Amino acid sequence: MKRVLIVGFVLLLGVTMAFGQQKVGAYTTLEEPLAKELFDEFQKETGIVVNWQRLSGGEVESRLEAEKANPQASIWVGGVGLNHISAKLKGLTTPYKSKMLANTPLQFRDPENYWVGLYIGPLCFVTNNKVAKEQGLVPPTSWADLLKPVYKGKIRMANPTTSGTAYNTLTTLRYVFGGDENKVFDYLDKLDKNIDQYTKSGSAPGKSVGIGEIPVAIGYAHDNVKLKVEGADITITFPSEGTGYEIASMSMVKGGPDPVNGKKLYDWILSPKAQEIIAKWYVIPLSKLAKKNPSAFSISEIKTVDQDVMWDAANKERLLERWVKEIGSKR
């Protein structure tokens, strides 16, 4: 009898340990504090540990390509939708029809359920007021302004080969110039003279402006609204010709090692609790379950370009190759 009890206890302990060790691997392109808050709350509610790594959108896409034969993550949370569409076209992600999808408008999710939009983030310019005043600069209000000689070496933006934010900047300019790619690259060549450096991450330039390291940067509005709310002396402006925007999205990784827990995390990210956390970060949420933060910009107050995200994703490799050849390789 004692032996039976011992065996039973050992089996129960093994089940308990197995339950306690439930986990899921995730790549995220959300800002680290937001990602941590989300994944910690998910673990608290479900007991499932999220082993996550924060990478830029381009880095995640490259990582998924490199790991295609042996995926190390099961889900990708956040990141510019163009990267998610590109990943779908490359066969790196897999469809999942979550029970929570109905809360997101059709135009902001993949018709085949490969990705779902989480929030919209418009591109903006951000200027450090103190540094700008010291250097005799005024905040730019147009794409044309960024080419003025007064901004030489005073603008920072991300590298489009690693950052979805920067690739979104490139595609936005294509719409501004009516689809004329030669005009786009002529503009980018001139803009390059005013860029002090290209960062790996799309949110990094704004952070540099926030601490006064550089006067002006290009980035997404929500990242910079957060800096302003937290006390940074900055001005946020939008280009008068029109601006582009990201549809930050989420996808399941094809062949991921923990698909069941990955789907649980996917469903949870679309739940009211998670949407409430996301909305606090000054983004424009897409789910009807979320309420916009009062400090966030509304898309209705910003002039936007008419984006074709499928075209942008399908032409990504070609446009990036041209950027590297004509701009990046000359650095």
What pLDDT is attached to residue 125? 98
Provide the total of helices (H) and of strands (E) in the chain, helices listed first: 13, 11
**pLDDT at residue number 20:** 53
pLDDT of residue 14: 43
Instruction: Give the per-residue pLDDT at 292.
Output: 86
Q: Tokens 């503009």 sit at which residue?
A: 187
pLDDT digits (tens, 9 = 90+) for 79-92: 989 999 999 999 99
pLDDT on residue 155: 98
Amino acid at 145: D
Contact (CB, 8 A) for 296 and 283: yes
DSSP secondary structure, 200-266, as one string: SSSSHHHHHHHTTSSSEEEEEHHHHHHHHHTT--EEEE--TT-B-EEEEEEEEETT-S-HHHHHHHH
Map out the domains of the chain as residue ranges.
Answer: 24-120+248-292, 121-245+311-330
Q: Identity (one letter) of the amino acid at 241?
A: E
Ranges under pLDDT 50 in the chain? 1-19
What phi, psi does 239 have (nearest 5°)? -65, 130
Total-model pTM: 0.81
Residue 18: the pLDDT is: 45
Q: What is the pLDDT of residue 300?
A: 83
Give the amino acid at 260: V
Residue-level pLDDT at 7: 38
Q: What residues does 158 pair with on adjacent strands?
A: 199
The pLDDT tens digits for 291-312 are 889 999 988 889 999 999 999 9
Tell me yes or no: is domain 24-120+248-292 CATH 1.10.357.10.
Answer: no
Domain 121-245+311-330 matching CATH 3.40.190.10: the answer reads yes
